[in-house]
Chain A
């Protein structure tokens, strides 16, 4: 399945057939009963055999937070690191070991608050990492403070009169940080989540997947608008590359470009405007339309939330470039000769 990605060819394949069970570690999963993390874990464990890589060449690196316990439950190599730093740690690992498939598991607080700097720099460098950002719009592990993706006015223990700061839109942020692959999916939609994982795994470079994840203890129902069968039809815009962007009952609604501003808007599809409905192009060189799509969602109601792959473009991968420079240096100067290096060009000899 990985024919499209030369980088994936560097990671050894599994010798035999794998099953989901192969990827379950012997550790008891300790998330709260009903947590959206279970569904994501199951989806990832279910997807890994499809990917078919040797499991000893897969590494999950996480930061701190509920989601960051994830590596303990995967029977691969893993590191549960410190708050916000997983992208930095994973960058060093991926850049020095191109035979590994490196995954980062993080949350909205971990990735966008304390670790925001590392996230944006990983994205701009385009390190070969797959970043799963579990966004539950709340701090769970510290028991319920608002997060950098919480809606304005959020009442929490730390904001009894409502939160004051405007949230990040993780997809917009990633696009602004020069991300080459950005997708959004939902914990409860196993099929969609798996398909996004597949595309991310095949992408050479940094892939950011925002996964809307329900915290049933501190922010229960945060994504109900996208999950409730009736509401979702009007709220969710499913993006598919090469397809017109339509949603709603019988595709009654669509996305068109406003010729005056260049911005996108949602319209009711009519015979007159049907030809104007935007066709999704995840591979567009310019991130402009992907950014405009990311802004369609109402941050409060989540109406008009696009899910799927917003952007997937190929551009040079940091670890490949780094490795190429090492090869070039050897071509130009020969393999390093320590004795010659230590001696330098300016020596003198003392005879005994």
Chain B
């Protein structure tokens, strides 16, 4: 959840890593235990449907009212070689009866659909964790493929864990024998069997998944029925088999949520909705120019479904055309957006520079992924910050906004749109793969809660010449914002030409005058520097000497780490930047107040470089670039060292 950092409910996340259970009166023959939180990881081949399984469990959990946070993790290949370590796809879900911030460091439960899934994930499990394995896939050959010389199910190597060997494939095929399906077709439902079993273990509601399956396979009722049968068989298996003696309850997180109506939402979906909301609030038609790229494509997909909002989506021939078309639409008065990831930003750089020069509103959404080059397309990273800041020729300042959680992508999109239309500038919105695909509960705002972003196009002359003639000057600036007028084609009398060549101040005519160029460069910079952004909040209840400063998707892990430290009596202050350019006006003062500033980033210290340069602060970087988000425990250790050191 993205509630205030200092809310007392959050302190609960500082509980121990191990699941806290309380014995409860048994129901029937089986024990039911109450837990405050659980971390489950589903893992299998990339063709096993683990993402779907995770999504369904998440939906069930959301509708039950738990707080939750998810971490999908999958290979870039659509169907990586079966049974291999690189082919493993997983989905981690952390859910709780209280406010939580991350998908969790270490799973309490691992569902491993094959030996590769076990091998790839077992190292992340704490001793005592439950492991459910599909024994049907533990053939000699499959085990050898991933380097198991002996069966880990039998050689004692899993003795420290609570192992549940379940022949998931056999049970699924058996459950579906009444259906007119080939064995291969029947086997495909084994993920639903596993989902049913886990749903029983954690008392998840089932109606949603059954409804989902009926709708997903509406055109193949036989397949829908088979999947539902497998799902129910999994549930019943849990209920009847002696191996699963205990089921668990995680109560709804009612206290963690302010009153309101909630849904579960991923970052990319929230971002797409934020863009549609921005279109409504600006009263401008939304135009998306985009080229498919992981992990940004889902925004293109989502916006393409909402043409009844007047949304135009243009799948371009390349990244450059995507932003080019968006810029053309911006010239015509649309709320223009291009969506991409790091490699696409590199290709769009020249057009972003043109947008800086034309001073037209344009949102550049970068869902960051591992780089450089193609890098790690499906993994997360924050290493495009300096590209967003400086990756253009000439002095080409661009405002940068970064969301902190999946649901926050909604508000961040509105904020980026505010800056773009108010200041007539391209704006970077820097999300990342972790936010894009991760999800959490979101309190659905009422449309009248949304900010007013009304735009006024130029309607008439804005300058009087010495001879008294009224004229329109396309680069006559608003004295407060330094924004130039947005005069859209179709407005009589305001015909004007703009371009990437340096323009004379005011008239916008081509000018090679040295003094004018110097003035224009400084003015464009001053416009961006002068963008009004909210002051940075610092969460510092104890008068700490060490500040941890983050930006973007590290918010969850950093906040969880801060809670741990405080729970143990440590003192640490926390601040998290939404605005990377310009920085909040009070950032310098805040940095100056602390003896130590620690900046954790999923790059090699890009924000740290910026603040060291701008504020001459000896910020300490803590970096991780392994394609995965920070773990809270790891950050807590680092922060402790900084505090004690």
A193 vs B83: C-alpha distance when bound (angstroms): 66
A118 vs B323: C-alpha distance when bound (angstroms): 12
CB neighbours (8 Å) of A71 from chain B are 497, 499
Q: How far is the CB of A70 from chain B (nearest CB, A)?
A: 10
Partner of A79, one of B208, B254, B331, B491: B331
Is B497's CB under 8 angstroms from A25's CB? yes
* A235 in the interface (beta carbon within 8 A): no
* B538 in the interface (beta carbon within 8 A): no
Contact bitstring A324-352, B, C-beta under 8 A = 1, else 0: 01101110111110110111101111111
* B547 in the interface (beta carbon within 8 A): no
* B258 in the interface (beta carbon within 8 A): yes
A88 vs B447: C-alpha distance when bound (angstroms): 34
Contact bitstring B42-71, A, C-beta under 8 A = 1, else 0: 000000000000000001001111000000
Contact-residue bracket for chain B = 35 or more
CB neighbours (8 Å) of A79 from chain B are 328, 331, 358, 497-499
Is B276's CB under 8 angstroms from A118's CB? no
Is B257's CB under 8 angstroms from A27's CB? no
A341 vs B496: C-alpha distance when bound (angstroms): 39
Is A346's CB under 8 angstroms from B62's CB? yes
Is A56's CB under 8 angstroms from B273's CB? no
Least CB separation from B215: chain A residue: A345
CB neighbours (8 Å) of A61 from chain B are 328
A288 vs B324: C-alpha distance when bound (angstroms): 32
* B102 in the interface (beta carbon within 8 A): no
Contact bitstring A30-44, B, C-beta under 8 A = 1, else 0: 000000000000000
Least CB separation from B410: chain A residue: A342
Is A88's CB under 8 angstroms from B312's CB? no
Stretch at the interface among A93-101, A240-248, A272-280, A289-297: A93-101
Q: Which of B16-63 contact A (CB under 8 A)?
A: 59, 62-63
* A317 in the interface (beta carbon within 8 A): no
Partner of B312, one of A95, A339, A352: A95
Asked whether A88 and B324 contact (CB < 8 A) given A72-B497, A79-B331, A347-B444, the answer is: yes
Is B261's CB under 8 angstroms from A352's CB? no
Asked whether A95 and B307 contact (CB < 8 A) given A347-B444, A351-B259, the answer is: no
Contact bitstring A124-141, B, C-beta under 8 A = 1, else 0: 000000000000000000
Instruction: Please classify the interface of chain B as helix (H, G, I), strand (E, B), loop, or mixed, using the class held by over half of its residues.
Output: mixed
CB neighbours (8 Å) of A342 from chain B are 273, 277, 444-445, 447
A97 vs B333: C-alpha distance when bound (angstroms): 9
Is A92's CB under 8 angstroms from B324's CB? yes
Partner of B499, one of A56, A80, A344, A350: A80
* B310 in the interface (beta carbon within 8 A): yes
* A54 in the interface (beta carbon within 8 A): yes
Least CB separation from A56: chain B residue: B492
Asked whether A93 and B328 contact (CB < 8 A) given A85-B320, A117-B318, the answer is: yes
Is A343's CB under 8 angstroms from B263's CB? yes
Partner of B500, one of A58, A81, A322, A328: A81
* A89 in the interface (beta carbon within 8 A): yes
Is B325's CB under 8 angstroms from A72's CB? no
A350 vs B257: C-alpha distance when bound (angstroms): 7
CB neighbours (8 Å) of A325 from chain B are 307
* A82 in the interface (beta carbon within 8 A): yes
Q: How far is the CB of A203 from chain B (nearest CB, A)?
A: 20
A72 vs B508: C-alpha distance when bound (angstroms): 11
Least CB separation from A72: chain B residue: B497
CB neighbours (8 Å) of A351 from chain B are 259
Q: How far is the CB of A79 from chain B (nearest CB, A)?
A: 6
* B244 in the interface (beta carbon within 8 A): no
* B368 in the interface (beta carbon within 8 A): no
Least CB separation from A328: chain B residue: B307
Q: Which of B310-336 contact A (CB under 8 A)?
A: 310-312, 314, 316-318, 320-321, 324-334, 336
Is B320's CB under 8 angstroms from A88's CB? yes
Least CB separation from A335: chain B residue: B308
A55 vs B287: C-alpha distance when bound (angstroms): 25
Asked whether A91 and B65 contact (CB < 8 A) given A81-B354, A342-B277, the answer is: no
A/B interface sample: 11 pairs, CB < 8 A: A81-B324, A81-B500, A92-B324, A95-B329, A100-B490, A117-B317, A333-B308, A335-B308, A342-B444, A343-B444, A350-B262
Spell out A's residues near B (CB within 8 Å): 12, 25, 27, 54-59, 61, 71-72, 74-82, 85, 88-97, 99-100, 117-118, 121, 322, 325-326, 328-330, 332-336, 338-339, 341-344, 346-352
Q: For the complex of A and B, list the 7 residue pairs with the smallest distance between their C-beta atoms, beginning with the closest.
A: A80-B499, A92-B325, A92-B328, A88-B324, A336-B309, A352-B259, A329-B307
Q: A77-B497, A80-B500, A96-B285 are in contact. List 17 more A-B contacts (CB 8 A).
A: A27-B497, A82-B350, A88-B321, A91-B321, A92-B287, A92-B314, A92-B326, A92-B336, A96-B334, A100-B332, A326-B312, A341-B306, A342-B277, A346-B263, A348-B263, A349-B262, A352-B258
